[in-house]
C-alpha cells in the first residue's frame, strides 16, 4: 500500500455524523473533515470550526469599491474633464450614487467568488478520497469523516479503531 491519505469512516445518518464530529473534535484531531450529501445544521460548531473570515474581506472589498467608484467619478468630472452643466458644481456626489453602488457590488461579488475559491483551495483537480468506492455515495445518501494522515495524532491502527468506536458503518484507509 502507498502512503495513506487518511482514515475514512462512513456513517448512515446526519445524527450519527453530528455526534461523531463532536467526538473527533474532543479527541483533539486537527486535520480532518466531514462530507455530507446535504447541509447538516450545526455541523460546523460540532466540528469546532471558527467563523469564516470571508464576510470581513467582502466588506473591505465593498468599501474599497465605494471609495474607488466615488474617486473615479470625482476625478473624471471635477479634475480631468471639467464641464459646466446647468450651473451645477463639478463634484455633485448625489449624481454619483448609482455608479458608486454598482462598483461596490462588483468589488464585493468578485471578492466573494475568488475568496471562496481561495479559502476552499479550489480548483482541485484530484482528491485522494475519490479513489474510495464507498465515498462515491457521499453526494447521495452517506455521511463521511476523513482524518488525514498529516494530522499529528494520526496512527493508522489507532485512528481506525477510534473511528470504529464512534459507530461507523465502515472504516478504511485511503491511499494518496
Task: Using pLDDT thresholds of 50, 70 and 90, give the confidence band for residue 35.
Answer: very high
Instruction: Give 26-29's long-range contacts (Cβ < 8 A, gap of 24+).
Output: 27/153, 27/162, 28/153, 29/147, 29/151, 29/153, 29/154
> Percent of the chain, pLDDT > 90?
82
Mean pLDDT, residues 68-86:
91
Q: Hey, is 85 helix, strand or coil?
A: coil
Mean pLDDT, the chain, integer: 94
Task: Using pLDDT thresholds of 50, 70 and 90, give the confidence band for residue 67.
Answer: very high
Query: Do residues 147 and 32 touch, judged by C-beta distance below 8 A?
Result: yes
Look up residue 76 and give its three cell numbers.
473624471
Task: Using pLDDT thresholds of 50, 70 and 90, give the confidence band for residue 62.
Answer: very high
pLDDT at position 87 is 82
Task: Using pLDDT thresholds of 50, 70 and 90, give the confidence band for residue 1.
Answer: low
**DSSP code, position 169:** S
**pTM for the full predicted model:** 0.79
Amino acid at each position: 500500500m502507498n502512503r495513506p491519505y487518511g482514515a475514512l469512516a462512513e456513517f448512515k445518518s446526519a445524527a450519527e455524523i453530528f455526534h461523531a464530529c463532536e467526538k473527533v473534535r474532543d479527541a483533539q484531531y486537527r486535520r480532518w473533515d466531514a462530507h455530507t450529501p446535504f447541509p447538516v445544521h450545526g455541523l460546523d460548531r460540532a466540528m469546532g470550526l471558527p467563523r469564516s473570515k470571508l464576510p470581513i474581506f467582502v466588506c473591505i472589498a465593498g468599501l474599497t469599491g465605494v471609495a474607488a467608484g466615488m474617486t473615479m467619478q470625482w476625478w473624471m468630472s471635477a479634475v480631468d474633464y471639467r464641464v459646466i452643466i446647468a450651473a451645477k458644481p463639478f463634484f455633485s456626489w448625489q449624481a454619483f450614487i448609482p455608479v458608486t453602488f454598482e462598483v461596490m457590488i462588483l468589488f464585493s461579488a468578485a471578492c466573494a467568488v475568488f475568496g471562496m475559491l481561495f479559502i476552499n483551495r479550489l480548483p482541485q483537480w484530484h482528491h485522494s478520497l475519490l479513489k474510495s468506492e464507498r465515498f462515491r455515495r457521499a453526494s447521495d445518501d452517506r455521511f463521511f469523516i476523513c482524518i488525514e494522515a498529516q494530522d499529528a495524532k494520526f496512527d493508522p491502527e489507532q485512528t481506525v479503531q477510534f473511528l470504529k468506536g464512534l459507530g461507523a458503518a465502515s472504516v478504511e484507509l485511503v491511499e494518496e
